[in-house]
């Protein structure tokens, strides 16, 4: 079968295998253990295009200054490009205004912000927070901490053997004490795409707000927060070709307005005396201290980059890779794929009979193939399947079918070494 995608940036049709934008990523020219780098650890972090690297370098070389606080030229320039990045993010996820975009360190901090600022003041003993059985630790531990602080209870929506959310169970668990649903959009361990439209509709029918952990989904699926109707959406910049240490919390304005600050310090205030403090407007009341200015600018550049290619094109390419990879490894004796949801993206997790995932990862690394091995910060998922962990290959816009072939060859080599 021949696959093609339309490159919106150049308005031409190009065979998927060629991946013309691959040359935009300088690190992909590296060699590892004498072999060309095959980078398949994108669910952990993505590589950065030259456009993002240049944006970071340009900021530090030409515009470096603190934002919002200076009347001098450099500060004004830094503030302009920093706030322009916020607007880019607003448009990328279709938020109603830039006020709804809060800069944080990553999805983890965004979830903790909602836990402590939105949920904690509202929860009483016996109140319930719903999560799914496929959550990352970052969408489990903050709610457990909140339970210890408030007496609230964590309820877990099960998944089936394929790694799909059991919607009927979700309906049953939604009850009179449910105060918040916090759920992933795309599982980092299984690749399952959660039907969040249905989740949000069911929750809102009960008057329950919904937080979506979009850390994995943001680089693989189009995200329109107004179309989804979610109350909060969290993601990290480094998962979508941006820098580490920068992330975003989207929140509906009326909810953010009602929430107290998460941290205190500079720039989140409008006035301070020893008697009282008046807080700044949105989104600044949640952004205490000097922010990651360069990180925000780099994230803005990353969103410009993926927007120029087009999320449709990226999704089509990655779906082709996932289908090709699934077929390529399915014929390998002793290999078991973990996560076979009907709606799935970007992630191929597997077990190899007789080999620990760490051994698989080490042998593949010797072949220049970078994957992740372990529990992927999703230990309850591993417990659900009765395993210690998986080997996980995860795909991005710059990966190719030839790299999938290298993965399959490396797996077979691992088996041969084990048989010896």
* Residues marked as catalytic: 377
Q: At what angle do helices 357-366 and 401-419 cross, to 10 degrees?
A: 120
Peptide bond into 91 cis (omega under 30): no
Separation in Å, CA 249 to CA 62, 101, 126, 159, 386: 28, 6, 27, 26, 34
Separation in Å, CA 312 to CA 4, 12, 227, 331: 12, 14, 17, 30
Report whether 148 contacts 175 (CB < 8 A). no
Report whether 157 contacts 202 (CB < 8 A). no
Strand ranges (E), 218-284: 232-236, 247-251, 269-272, 277-279
Q: Which tokens in the block code for residue 212?
A: 């979506």
DSSP secondary structure string for all residues of 374-418: E-TT-HHHHHHHT-S-EEEEE--TT--HHHHHHHHHHHHHHHHHH
């Amino acid at each position: 079968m021949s696959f093609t995608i339309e490159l919106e940036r150049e308005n031409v049709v190009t065979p998927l295998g060629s991946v013309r934008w691959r040359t935009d990523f300088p690190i992909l020219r590296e060699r590892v253990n004498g072999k060309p780098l095959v980078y398949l650890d994108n669910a952990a972090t993505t590589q950065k295009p030259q456009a993002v690297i240049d944006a970071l370098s340009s900021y530090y070389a030409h515009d470096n200054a603190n934002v919002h606080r200076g009347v001098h030229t450099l500060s004004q320039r830094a503030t302009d490009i920093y706030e322009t990045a916020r607007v880019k993010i607003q448009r990328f996820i279709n938020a109603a205004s830039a006020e709804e975009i809060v800069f944080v360190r990553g999805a983890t901090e965004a979830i903790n912000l909602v836990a402590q600022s939105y949920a904690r003041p509202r929860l009483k003993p016996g109140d319930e927070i719903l999560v799914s059985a496929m959550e990352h630790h970052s969408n489990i531990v903050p709610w457990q901490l909140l339970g210890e602080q408030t007496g609230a209870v964590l309820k877990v929506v099960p998944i089936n053997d394929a790694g799909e959310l059991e919607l009927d169970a979700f309906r049953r668990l939604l009850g009179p004490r449910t105060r918040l649903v916090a759920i992933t959009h795309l599982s980092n361990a299984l690749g399952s795409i959660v039907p969040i439209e249905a989740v949000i509709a069911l929750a809102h029918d009960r008057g329950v707000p919904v937080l979506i952990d979009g850390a994995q989904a943001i680089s693989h699926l189009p995200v329109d927060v107004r179309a989804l109707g979610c109350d909060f959406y969290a993601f990290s910049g480094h998962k979508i070709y941006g820098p580490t240490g920068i992330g975003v919390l989207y929140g509906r304005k009326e909810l953010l307005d009602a929430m107290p600050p998460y941290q205190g310090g500079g720039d989140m205030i409008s006035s301070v005396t020893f008697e009282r403090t008046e807080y700044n407007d949105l989104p600044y009341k949640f952004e205490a201290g000097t922010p990651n200015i360069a990180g925000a600018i780099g994230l803005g550049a990353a969103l410009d980059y993926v927007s120029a290619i087009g999320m449709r094109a990226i999704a089509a390419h990655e779906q082709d890779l996932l289908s090709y990879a699934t077929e390529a490894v399915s014929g390998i004796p002793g290999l078991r794929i973990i996560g076979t949801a009907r709606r799935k993206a970007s992630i191929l997790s597997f077990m190899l009979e007789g080999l620990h995932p760490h051994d698989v990862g080490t042998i593949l690394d010797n072949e220049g193939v970078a994957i992740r091995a372990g529990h992927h910060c999703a230990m309850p998922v591993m417990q659900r399947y009765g395993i210690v962990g998986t080997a996980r290959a995860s795909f991005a816009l710059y990966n190719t079918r030839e790299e999938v072939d290298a993965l399959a060859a490396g797996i077979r080599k691992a088996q041969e070494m084990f048989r010896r």
